Structure formats: structure tokens, C-alpha cells
């Protein structure tokens, strides 16, 4: 199956970053990406700094089948 790049704008306090994830190109993957995105506020509640937040978001999306792409 073809792969697709998914874009996500993360914000934590004053910090912000544009992150890219790679996943399959399908309606099911779109639904999983949306479901993972909806869980981000819950992840932020338990993070102390932007680095920890970014790492935990990457873990969350990995559990939904998306790999973070580093530029």
C-alpha cells in the first residue's frame, strides 16, 4: 500500500513545532490519525516540558501506526 506524509502542528506552552509522520494512505489511516490527534491534550497533561511532550506524542502516533519523520 502507498504511504503518505501526515503533518501535525504541536504546541506546548510557548513552544510550537511542525511534525511529520509517515503512514499508509487509506481512509482507515486517516481515521487513526484523527483519533491519535484527539488524544494529544491528554498527553500534554502529564508532560513537564516541550521535549517530553514531543517524545510522548511521537510514541502515541507510533502506537497508532505512524512513524515520525525527522528533517
pLDDT at 69 over 70: yes
Taking 3-state DSSP, the helix, strand and coil percentages for the chain, each rounded to the nearest 5, stand at 45, 30, 25
Mean pLDDT, residues 21-25 taken together:
98
Give the number of other Cβ atoms within 10 Å of residue 46's Cβ: 9
Domain that holds residue 29: 3-69
What mean pLDDT do residues 7-16 have? 96
pLDDT score, position 71: 66
Whether the model clears a pTM of 0.95, i.e. scores above it, the answer is no
The proportion of the chain whose per-residue pLDDT surpasses 70, expressed as a percent, equals 99
Across the chain, mean pLDDT equals: 96
Domain count for the chain, please give it. Answer: 1
Amino acid at each position: 500500500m502507498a504511504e503518505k506524509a501526515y503533518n501535525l502542528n504541536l504546541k506546548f506552552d510557548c513552544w510550537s513545532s511542525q511534525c511529520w509522520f509517515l503512514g499508509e494512505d487509506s481512509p482507515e489511516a486517516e481515521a487513526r490519525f484523527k483519533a491519535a490527534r484527539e488524544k494529544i491534550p491528554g498527553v500534554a497533561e502529564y508532560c513537564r516540558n516541550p521535549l517530553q511532550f514531543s517524545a510522548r506524542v511521537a510514541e502515541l502516533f507510533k502506537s497508532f501506526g505512524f512513524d515520525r519523520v525527522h528533517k
